[in-house]
Structure 1
Amino acid sequence: SLASTAVTCFTRGLDLRKETEDVLCPANCPLWQFYVFGDGVYASLSSVCGAAIHWGVITNAGGAVRVQTLPGQENYPAVNANGIQSQVLTRWASSFSVTRTKNTALEAVGRSVSTARPSTGKRPKKPLDKKAGNKDCKADIAFLIDGSYNIGQRRFNLQKNFVGKVAVMLGIGTEGPHVGVVQASEHPKIEFYLKNFTAAKEVLFAIKELGFRGGNSNTGKALKHTAQKFFSLENGARKGIPKIIVVFLDGWPSDDIEEAGIVAREFGVNVFIVSVAKPTTEELGMVQDIGFIDKAVCRNNGFFSYQMPTWFGTTKYVKPLVQKLCSHEQMLCSKTCYNSVNIGFLIDGSSSVGDSNFRLVLEFISNVAKAFEISDIGSKIAAVQFTYDQRTEFSFTDYTTKEKVLSAIRNIRYMSGGTATGDAISFTTRNVFGPMKDGPNKNFLVVLTDGQSYDDVRGPAAAAQKAGITVFSVGVAWAPLDDLKDMASEPRESHTFFTREFTGLEQMIPDIIRGICKDFLDSKQ
């Protein structure tokens, strides 16, 4: 016989890993909160304990259930049984059935656990699991709801109901999705932040309480405001979790939404647009841009736009939207050039540079590094100094915060010596970038030199580029332009920089950052 697994009211078929699994359902699950699809054969999205009560295997006193995985079905019917109304689903990838467990000893355990309420052994476990939420769905979501005169009070309430259903099905919890709501009207209003609630019940209540604001649907303005202000760490955004804005649009936006879409992408936010009730013919004349949806969403690939014909009967649209929002790997806009690059600096420490100019070089590097989001899961910085020899000042994995990286740059000591740039590039490619080659980040090397190299730079630079490293060359004073161009990645003009004086390095900072971002975006298209 199988050992049984204690589950929560909200455990779904798809949360179980085995073909056949014996589970123990807790007592007193709230029947109205069960999501069950089908009758006898249930879609794996259904609550296991909900299905077991629906099929009559157990009552609300809980108990032992055997869950058997089955293939997906074309159709799951809606049937009302034992106080639970199951829902229709047209098609789903896998199913399960529920039966009584053969093992009577287990049955007894199941009962005693669920009826012995005061026993401290079992009781505290349940709220914990529910609090954690759906761990398979990692997302920080802002629902940007339409509060304009376009939608009106009645449809506004239907919109709230829909958002509430989506919030419940997401499986909100401390380790699951977190959500907040922003209302778009004349001026956007953040109704509540990600940090305010971490339980579905609280979120539902907060959504019910929202008042209708009215005014123009300045969706562009609201989207931009949300992208810039909503996802700060102090407002509850979590590091490394995809940021998502779901924009609900009734009809059309009354302002420009394209620029807001660009801002959202720059901030690493994934924008979805749920459009309801297409604009009527007369309204179309007032729409600034008929292709507005394609321009505002994260990517114009069909995944980020979602249409519903009306606000009535929207239940069947809840699940497919939730599936999209939980598809971690589809969130193409989470990665930005600021949080997904490794930048290695190769610094000329030859005698011609001199102490005070060397300080200016370090300042330049600090200011470039400062622009990026450095963390264990974000961008990373490394530095190598060279003369005839090479010295790794710090590697990509040494420091994972911006403060530590900047402090390490300040502490670099000037070596003084000859100039062997080619050897230094080979050294850096092998020792500093080598360990990172299968990582998720895109690799960049910024070479800073003030003179002629004693060795060949073309071969080592070509090898670096072949290894997937984009090279920017920055020359000062006597650095020959031919060497700089030979080291730089294609197109060479935009990857080669030169200044007569070390003080000129400062002006290049924005162009280098922009160049890295441009290469990053081009590599993603």
Structure 2
Amino acid sequence: MSAAWIPVLGLGVCLLLLLEPVGSEGAVPIAITCSTRGLDIRKEKVDVLCPGGCPLEEFSVFGNIVYASVSSICGAAVHRGVISHSGGPVRVYSLPGRENYSSVDANGIQSQTLSRWSASFTVTKGKSGTQEATGLSVSTARPPTGKRQKKTPEKKTGNKDCKADIAFLIDGSFNIGQRRFNLQKNFVGKVALMLGIGTEGPHVGLVQASEHPKIEFYLKNFTSAKDVLFAIKEVGFRGGNSNTGKALKHTAQKFFTSDAGVRKGIPKVVVVFIDGWPSDDIEEAGIVAREFGVNVFIVSVAKPIPEELGMVQDVAFVDKAVCRSNGFFSYHMPSWFGTTKYVKPLVQKLCSHEQMMCSKTCYNSVNIAFLIDGSSSVGDSNFRLMLEFVSNIAKAFEISDIGAKIAAVQFTYDQRTEFSFTDYNTKENVLAVIRNIRYMSGGTATGDAISFTVRNVFGPMRDSPNKNFLVIVTDGQSYDDVRGPAAAAHDAAK
């Protein structure tokens, strides 16, 4: 019996498998990869062969018993108990799409929820065959003489100059309504398309904010723009209050995890869309997000009208939610109509990695003590310049009870703690105290001042998760030894 070459699509890779003619009784199962999805095999009924030893991260599964076609076939088979992790034959049946796919933990796999998908499948035990399955996406079979084997296309790597893990947090509240919600999805789709999504480029996911937040899909679920656009289109409107702060916290804590597809060393970004105003506290949520190393962008649309301003908890919520109110992390569009011209500028911001400096490693995870020279040689006017310099540095940080902390010590031959790390937890209070520091005047003993600060200011903070920095502002040479205390300070910080 002659063989036929049949192309099978698996994760964008064309597999050439040596099979017997369709309809023959002795047909063997089609060998697929760990991550081949239901939508990659467009048949009403087909027998496939899953490889063994698949990594769990390749099992993206949505639903239970009936699975969204975007799910991994082998992952669904293990989830349902049709096969074990050692692989085996599986029979796949195509089914219509559903409104909801439930999340169930079974056989070591946690499936995910999904709201609406256009097609489904289910799995049962398949027919055994002689075809050997592997985790590779290329067959070792040779084509018959005179037939050229098709070239295996490469997966799209995406825009390598824009590596970022991005969550789009869309507004699904009654504030926006169904019509503007659809326009919002259209805009997000255009942004996703221009980003250049790919295996080596940006990865994106989607979260909907409403009464209760819902993660629509994760970073790991799709690595092509086509699949992302389709997934965005399928998202349904939820309604309810615009609890954007609650959704932002949920995104920071539950979305950006290694299990959900976060990559090491890649900037984490959440783009928050707000139509009108949030119903809850978004400033605190922004601080929490930065504690989790997430850069927060706010895209505000259609500012509240005068009659609605009384419902807004804080008119300046945008500037307070982002890490720096310099305009880079905030973006305003007057309406959802004619938004095409806003796509490229937003994409350029999201790809400007050198300005992504809002994570916990930067503006809100440090303890900074300023050691200020108050000796006679400085003089009152220069001392005021020193205080202005210290204030300008402090302004750049997110000072809070869970963020950056500032302390100040003035020294001559003596030392005076102007305020410690735990005295003030708002930027306004810290800046006010710095402005009112009184000039001491006297000699210069920098070494003693370093030892004093390490012992009395940093000592009580030894269990703090923040990194410690000592900034010395002085005008000249000390009368005592500086190297010894400085070395001891370095050792104490280890």
Q: TM-score range by the shorter chain?
A: 0.3 to 0.5
The TM-score normalised by the length of structure 2 is 0.47
Which structure's relative contact order is higher, taking Cα pairs within 8 Å and 6+ residues apart?
A: 2
Higher helix share goes to which structure?
A: 1
